[in-house]
Amino acid sequence: LAKTTQPISMDSYEGQEVNITCSHNNIATNDYITWYQQFPSQGPRFIIQGYKTKVTNEVASLFIPADRKSSTLSLPRVSLSDTAVYYCLVGESMDSNYQLIWGAGTKLIIKP
C-alpha cells in the first residue's frame, strides 16, 4: 500500500512564495497527482492536478520530477486567506480495487 507523506505544518508571511512537498512512493503509471485545499467546516476544494513536469494555473503551480515519487505545490505571493490545510491525493490501483491514498495534510499558516 503506497503512502503519501507531507509536512504536518508550515508557516509563512504574506507576499512570500510557499512550497509544500508530498512524497508518494509506488505511484502507478497512470495515476495523476491532485492537490486540494480545505478550510475549517468545509469540504476539500480542488487546486491543481498534474501527471509529470510542471503544471500552472491561476492560483498555483505543481512541480513533478521525472521519477514522479514526489510533487511540490507552489503558492505564489500568499495572502492571509491562503491559511488552510493542503492535501495531496494520489490514486493507486491494487489488484481489482482502486485505492485513493490521501496525505495527512499540511496546515499552512500565513502571518501578516
Partner 1 sequence: NAGVTQTPKFQVLKTGQSMTLQCAQDMNHNSMYWYRQDPGMGLRLIYYSASEGTTDKGEVPNGYNVSRLNKREFSLRLESAAPSQTSVYFCASSDYQPQHFGDGTRLSIL
Q: How far is the CB of 24 from partner 1 (least distance, A)?
A: 14
Q: How far is the CB of 15 from partner 1 (least distance, A)?
A: 28
Cβ nearer to partner 1, comparing 75 with 88: 88
Q: 18, 12 in Cβ contact below 8 A?
A: yes
Cβ nearer to partner 1, comparing 45 with 54: 45
Cβ nearer to partner 1, comparing 59 with 100: 100
Q: How far is the CB of 73 from partner 1 (least distance, A)?
A: 14
Cβ nearer to partner 1, comparing 32 with 63: 32
Nearest of 10, 20, 12, 27 to residue 101 by alpha carbon: 27
Residues that bind partner 1 (CB under 8 A): 32, 34, 36, 41-46, 49, 87, 89, 91, 97-100, 102-105
Q: How far is the CB of 16 from partner 1 (least distance, A)?
A: 25
Residue 7 sits at φ, ψ, to 5 deg, of: -65, 145
The C-alpha cell of 36 is what?
486540494
Which stretches does DSSP call E strand in the chain? 4-5, 9-13, 18-24, 33-38, 45-50, 53-56, 61-64, 70-75, 84-94, 97-102, 106-111
